Chains A and B, each alone.
Chain A
């Protein structure tokens, strides 16, 4: 059974940093691209960042480019999101999501999310 478990969320002041983790199980983690998707309270889904299977290729949304860094440890089946220079508008539930196929695909499995609140 595929499982994705996010952690690391919490309350942080504007300008602060936080690192999210997503621990995966039930599939060959190193064979799939993984993404972070966020959802602000009462709002829609916003794709944040992705890392290809090896982790050597990464992508970012414009709203986080230059502030967030995605990485993965395939030996530990874990995806990370280092979030720096946090802003109030980064407040959201952050999901990690697995690509359906190894090369490119929609997200067939999602975690339950970890909440990040940026406030003074």
Chain B
């Protein structure tokens, strides 16, 4: 199975900050890559697919980049509603695999 490794596992940030989360795949997944946001007690929400395409309804402050094995999620100006846990996922092959998650907390 393809292993997805996110970094960092957690960090604190302030509203208005620019934040970056990275994810590395253990093998090439091309652009079959997605980012999700999950808030406590809620189902995950798709933010980015195909590595850099913004899902409908997702604010433009979210962006994704990368291909192959290295990917990045950037939030250009952190808002209060963005404090959550973020997961990366490859859908290049089965089994689908997720990263371990990155928790973004309020500083």
Contacts of B97 in A (CB 8 A): 47
Please measure, in the bound complex, the distance between the C-alpha atom of A47 and the C-alpha atom of B88, giving whole angstroms: 12
A104 vs B98: C-alpha distance in the bound complex, in angstroms? 16
- A44 and B43 form a contact (CB under 8 A): no
CB distance from A116 to the nearest CB of B (A): 16
Interface size of B as a range: 20 to 34
B34: Cβ under 8 A from any A Cβ: yes
Interface of chain A: mostly helix, strand, loop or mixed: strand
B34 touches A44 (CB 8 A): no
B101 touches A44 (CB 8 A): yes
Interface of B (DSSP majority class):
loop
Q: How many A-B residue pairs have CB under 8 A?
A: 56
Contact B43 A110 (CB under 8 A): yes
Give chain A residues whose Cβ lies under 8 Å from the Cβ of B1.
Answer: 62
User: In the complex, are the beta carbons of B43 and A47 less than 8 A apart?
Assistant: no
Contact B49 A105 (CB under 8 A): yes
Q: Which residues of B contact A44 (CB under 8 A)?
A: 87, 98-101
Do A46 and B98 touch across chains, with their CB atoms under 8 A apart? Answer: yes
Of A47, A106, A112, A113, which one neighbours B95 at CB under 8 angstroms? A47
| A interface residues (Cβ-Cβ under 8 A, vs B) | 35, 37, 44-47, 50, 59-62, 95, 100, 104-108, 110-113
Listed by A's residue number, 29 A-B pairs whose Cβ atoms lie within 8 Å are A37-B44, A44-B87, A44-B99, A44-B100, A44-B101, A45-B36, A45-B89, A45-B101, A46-B98, A47-B89, A47-B98, A50-B94, A50-B96, A59-B94, A59-B95, A61-B95, A95-B43, A95-B44, A100-B46, A100-B49, A104-B32, A104-B91, A105-B91, A106-B34, A106-B89, A107-B46, A107-B89, A110-B45, A112-B43
